[in-house]
Amino acid sequence: MSAEQNILNAIAIASDPAQDRALQNEAVEFLNTVRAGATETWPVALRLFVGDDAAQRAKQSVHVRLFALQVLDELLDNRQEELVSAGRAQETYATLQAALGAYIESEYVSGPAEASAPFIRNKFSHTLALLFLCTYPDQWPTFFTSISPLLHTSPGASTPALNPHVTTFFLRLLLEISGEIHDQTLKSARSFAASRHARDGRVRDAVRTKDAVGVNSDVLGVLEEVARRLEAVRAGGPVGTDGLGAQQLTELVELAIRAFASYVPWVDINLTVTPVTINILFKLLSDQALPIRLATSAAILRIVQKGLKEPSDKLQLLRVLSLGQVLDMLETKTRITGDKDDADRDDEVSYRESLGKLTSGLGLELLKFCDDQAAPPPDIAAGAEELLQQLLPIMLRFLADEYDETSSSVFPMLSQIFVVYKRAKKNSPQTHLTSAKRAFLVQTLEILLQKMRWDPDSDPDDLDDDDRGAFENLRSDLRLFLDSISAIDEELVTSAIKVLAMNTLGQDGVGWADAELAVYLVYLYGEFQKGDKNKGRLAFVNVPDDVAKDKRKQSDWAAYPLTPHGEMMDALMRSQISAYPHNAVAIQYFETVGRYGDFFKARKQYVEGVLTTFIDARGIHHPKKVLEIPAEYVTTIIDSMRDVLVVRAELPEPESSEQDLLSEALSSAGLFDSQLYLFESVGTLVSLLGKDPDKQATVLQSITSPLLTSLEQSIQTPINGPQDILPILQAHHVIRALGSVSKGFPDVIGATPVPPPAWVLVLKQVAEAILVSLEAMNQHRAIRDASRFAFARIIASTGSNITQYIPMLMNRLIRQSQPVELVDFLSFLSFTVHKLQNEIFNVLDELISPLSTHIFELLARPVEGTDDRLQHNDTKRAYLEFVTHIMTDQMHSVFVSERNKDQLPNFVQSIATIAEDVSDPASVKSALSFLTKSTTAFAQDPSGPGAQPKPNAPAVTIQLNVVPGYQTFIYERLVPLAFTIPASPSYNVKDGQTLSATMEIGALLKQIYQARGQEAIKYIAEVYLPSQNWPPALISEFATKLTELDVKQFRRYFADFVRNSANS
């Protein structure tokens, strides 16, 4: 069998999901060998790629041709030295030059330019760029001049017109060449090689000397011609003979701008900055197409950032551009108004962000000449300062933009301004702060303080972690800017913070965002009093000079006047803002009073109110932060609460002998439920004693011991008949009270300390007592419910310290559990898995298969009546949440353990069946979410896109348990599922929950591609979609979107696709 046939067979096996995994691995290994031996195998690869003619190329598999290009890339990028050593470099490159030149003539000049496989075009342009780098200028000096005539060669045209295929290819080729020889991002991603570095320099020099003029002329000619045609088509003119409509022309204009921008940094500035180019670019800055505007803005930024040897030349360049006037006009023109729809608004936000970056880039260049450290000539510094002063108001308007993306686009410039100002202060402490600088700082400070405010229309509790984290990061950046201004003029910052906070705290009826900002500014104030060295109470009161230090302890601190910081804290206390009905305000209030506990030593009249706030309904729901209140206050308040920390179960009056007295008692336990908040509060107070662990444990034990005694008495009391429920009710109440005490402690984060703190040992005693009670009273659902309640809170506080009790707990909970308890049990399991993860792997390993079988049997039963339907759906959703938690917490190896691996096919089939029930879109989404995660866990190909690290992203370790044959399940079940669900007649994509499910389908499809790569694209585009009679053009578009868009973009695309399909 020939080498060519061997390669074809190996590619067929490797790309066929139905093939045996071992055979596929063997095929992949063979192909890797072929690629590594590129110095010998390149002739075969060349034949496989170019073929004999266009017809043969069209018949050849896309996988084969892409692999052929990979072999050629390996030869040209990594094997040059081997070719040179063997004396075959010149001959090899000549053969490639001739063959690929003929291919371009056939495919791009006269042919369809790979219309059936557009991604081949991009890949080939990279390959040709690599050949260019190996042969230019010595062996292929006519590289550019041989392509230039082809730009206007259109078959059948009497008058030569633009050839869109060659033009597009030429522009992409320039992007690839510039990327290889100049793009610093690409260079930094590679290991440094002196030979490559020297080669890149030689190529740049040769292009500048020989071809830059011609290349630039061709690019600008294309840009002018295509822009002119686009303008004509928009005006209603006819489409040209090449069939290019407005969309295609827009893409060509954008591509030409990007190609131009790619070589701006490394060719002569006199070529790229001329009256013609400036006129073109400034005109396109206002084009109606967003991609063109974005590309143009980026191109002008490249020009602005162009390095020039002489400062005078650079300043002259910036003067010629006169960007200050242009940006002033565009900033005003593009401000977001309420009359724009969402699409236009998103476009304008993106464009304003790019304009902000251009403003920032220009500002950074000017600041280089305004920095004392650079010591620029006086005339240069003066000229740059003049231009900078024109730019500062524009920068401030971008900074004040309501959209954070736009605002943060000018952060680099603002940061550098502060660097320059601080250096000026160091060099000229007395004269550095001119009136102009001070006015600028005042304006900036006002904007920064307002940008620190939450969007009043976005409740932080409703935001996801990403959005909440984005604002917190923004606020952190703004704090750094305040710190920089403070280093320049501290009084300016402290005064502005105080005025804004005090004005807000003194008003009635302020919005929650303004209230939260005022409290936050009080919280920040201490950070900016760097000139005030006073600590403790002295930070808040002014002690007269005539009071000796040794007399201060006996002094009446309440009589001393307050410092500005003390005045702010006093205003905070008097404002009663702790009662503001918004969680964000309450959280910030607790953080603030916790930070400045020393204030209460000077103003003790506020202590009672703060502690009351802390333990009442305003404090008990505080998520994770705790207050640093002095220990003596904590113990005092606990001692004062002991009389209400006694549990006394009370029986309701029976209405009839048939009444379930226990159920009635549990449902009417309103007073006890309120008492639970006290137990939680006392737990929180005890948690504040962490600085004295022994005392903390002693105080905690003084609270739990009476409860444990009461519990022991309850389980030892004989129960005489079904109406004798008081011991059961008392045990139930005590168990919940013990759990509530534990809830007062903060949730454990990360690894628990070894040895554990003393209070953990107290809670372990509590856990043991609850298990004893559960064993003794296991037949009562009330005790099972209370035990779950308590253990959930103990697990949250103690983490892995409690793991040893989990198997016993699960056994005793399940033993007499009823179907109606399943939802609560599953929720408890989800919580336990999330908190303890691998610590309970063995428990989960034993439990998952029988539990899943039981759940699926319940879900398979006929549903009768509304209550039955609600119970059915609740159980289904709780189970899906449980198994999804397992995947999210990377515990999925439990599904493929020795005990459970045989059940995996039935298990995932059952989940897929749930996803088909479109009557319950919430469960559809949850089921799809699980299946999406399973694709990564069980079918991630190590060479798939999802396994490749993203640029600039932190390294993430993904635990994979690749299951042989799982890709077959993906193609036979999940891919059809993704298209049949939205095709269901009862699938209402206008419904909000259904739309969420639709976007989850998009995420599933994207994850299938991320896991399986081109194999998935081939199956979807060449097997499944054709079998569903999709038009080829639509298949091609869908496959391209699936490949190129990120997850978020593809989810939106897929939802729009389904919505449009439903409307058609």
Structural Rg of the chain based on CA atoms: 36
Does the structure show a pLDDT above 80 at 53?
A: no
Per residue in 132-182, pLDDT (tens digit) is 999 999 999 999 999 999 998 755 555 668 899 999 999 999 999 999 999
Residue 641 banded pLDDT, cuts 50, 70, 90: low
Please identify which residue in the block is written with the tokens 């006996």: 554
If asked whether residues 47 and 84 sit together in one domain, one would say yes
Q: Which of 214-218, 426-430, 445-449, 533-537 has the lowest mean pLDDT?
A: 533-537
Position 1059, amino acid: R
If asked whether residues 571 and 694 sit together in one domain, one would say no
In sequence order, which residues have a C-beta less than 8 Å from that of residue 354 and are 6 or more positions away?
A: 293, 294, 297, 298, 409
Residue 300: closest CA among 332, 333, 342, 261: 261
Residue 625: its pLDDT value, please? 44
Using a pLDDT cut of 90, give the percent of the chain over it.
51
Residue 956: its pLDDT value, please? 39
Residue 955 banded pLDDT, cuts 50, 70, 90: very low
Per residue in 237-288, pLDDT (tens digit) is 888 777 789 999 999 999 999 999 999 999 999 999 999 999 999 999 999 9
Does the structure show a pLDDT above 90 at 1061?
A: no
Q: Which of 463-467, 501-505, 999-1003 has the lowest mean pLDDT?
A: 463-467
Residue 989: its pLDDT value, please? 81
If asked whether residues 639 and 753 sit together in one domain, one would say yes
Residue 628: its pLDDT value, please? 44
Does the structure show a pLDDT above 70 at 555?
A: no
Domain boundary among 790, 817, 844: 817
Residue 40: its pLDDT value, please? 95
CA distance 305 to 322: 15
Position 714, amino acid: S
If asked whether residues 571 and 677 sit together in one domain, one would say no
Domain boundary among 126, 152, 170: 126
CA distance 927 to 274: 59
If asked whether residues 35 and 15 sit together in one domain, one would say yes
Residue 340 banded pLDDT, cuts 50, 70, 90: low
Residue 656 banded pLDDT, cuts 50, 70, 90: low
Q: Which of 126-135, 430-439, 582-591, 974-983 has the lowest mean pLDDT?
A: 582-591
What is the DSSP code string of 122-143? HHHHHHHHHHHHHHTTTT-TTH
Residue 256: inside a domain: no
What is the DSSP code string of 12-71? HHHT-TTS-HHHHHHHHHHHHHHHHTHHHHHHHHHHHHH-SSHHHHHHS-HHHHHHHHHH
Residue 857: inside a domain: no
- What's the total number of domains in the chain? 3
Boundaries of domain holding 40: 1-126
User: In Å, how far are 240, 592, 594, 688, 790 from 625, measured between CA atoms?
Assistant: 67, 11, 9, 11, 22
If asked whether residues 615 and 694 sit together in one domain, one would say no
Please identify which residue in the block is written with the tokens 């890339």: 73
Domain boundary among 102, 126, 150: 126
Sign of CA dihedral 53, 55, 61, 62: positive
Per residue in 1-12, pLDDT (tens digit) is 688 899 999 999
Does the structure show a pLDDT above 70 at 496?
A: yes
Give the residue-averaged pLDDT of 60-65: 89
Per residue in 381-420, pLDDT (tens digit) is 999 999 999 999 999 999 999 999 999 999 999 999 999 9
Residue 1057: inside a domain: no
CA distance 14 to 27: 6
HSE of 297 in the Cβ direction (CA atoms, 13 Å)?
24
pLDDT higher at 1 or 809: 809
Residue 957: its pLDDT value, please? 44
Residue 56: its pLDDT value, please? 77
Residue 958: its pLDDT value, please? 45
Q: Which residues face 562 on adjacent strands?
A: 541
Does the structure show a pLDDT above 70 at 549?
A: no
Q: Which two tokens stand for residue 649?
A: 């179960």
Q: What is the 3-state secondary structure (H, E, C) of 249-280?
A: HHHHHHHHHHHHHHHHHHCCHHHHCCHHHHHH
Q: Which two tokens stand for residue 718?
A: 């004989």
Per residue in 668-720, pLDDT (tens digit) is 655 677 678 778 878 888 887 888 899 999 999 999 999 999 999 998 988 77
Residue 952: its pLDDT value, please? 47
If asked whether residues 641 and 518 sit together in one domain, one would say no
If asked whether residues 617 and 667 sit together in one domain, one would say no
pLDDT higher at 84 or 542: 84
Give the residue-averaged pLDDT of 645-652: 81
Q: What is the pTM of this model?
A: 0.63
Q: How many CB atoms lie within 10 A of CB 600?
A: 23
- Are 514 and 504 in contact by the 8 Å Cβ rule? The answer is yes
Residue 52: inside a domain: yes
Residue 377: inside a domain: no
User: In Å, how far are 45, 92, 585, 967 from 80, measured between CA atoms?
Assistant: 17, 10, 65, 38
Per residue in 588-633, pLDDT (tens digit) is 887 788 778 778 778 877 866 776 676 565 654 344 444 344 455 4
If asked whether residues 637 and 782 sit together in one domain, one would say yes
Give the residue-averaged pLDDT of 97-105: 94
As a whole number, the mean pLDDT across the chain is: 87
In sequence order, which residues have a C-beta less than 8 Å from that of residue 193 and are 6 or more positions away?
A: none
Residue 108: inside a domain: yes
Residue 491: inside a domain: yes
If asked whether residues 579 and 667 sit together in one domain, one would say no
Please identify which residue in the block is written with the tokens 């602005």: 304
Per residue in 672-683, pLDDT (tens digit) is 776 787 788 788
Residue 62: inside a domain: yes
pLDDT higher at 195 or 501: 501
Please identify which residue in the block is written with the tokens 């793991």: 803
Evaluate the omega torsion of the peptide bond into residue 755 and state whether it is cis, within 30 degrees of 0: yes
CA distance 103 to 90: 20
Residue 817: its pLDDT value, please? 76
Does the structure show a pLDDT above 90 at 20?
A: no
If asked whether residues 643 and 752 sit together in one domain, one would say yes
Residue 242: its pLDDT value, please? 76
Cα diameter, the chain: 108
Per residue in 866-899, pLDDT (tens digit) is 888 888 888 899 999 999 989 888 888 989 889 9
Residue 8: its pLDDT value, please? 92
Q: Which of 11-25, 221-235, 465-479, 934-948 has the lowest mean pLDDT?
A: 934-948
If asked whether residues 719 and 801 sit together in one domain, one would say yes
Per residue in 341-386, pLDDT (tens digit) is 667 788 899 999 999 999 999 999 999 998 867 778 889 999 999 9
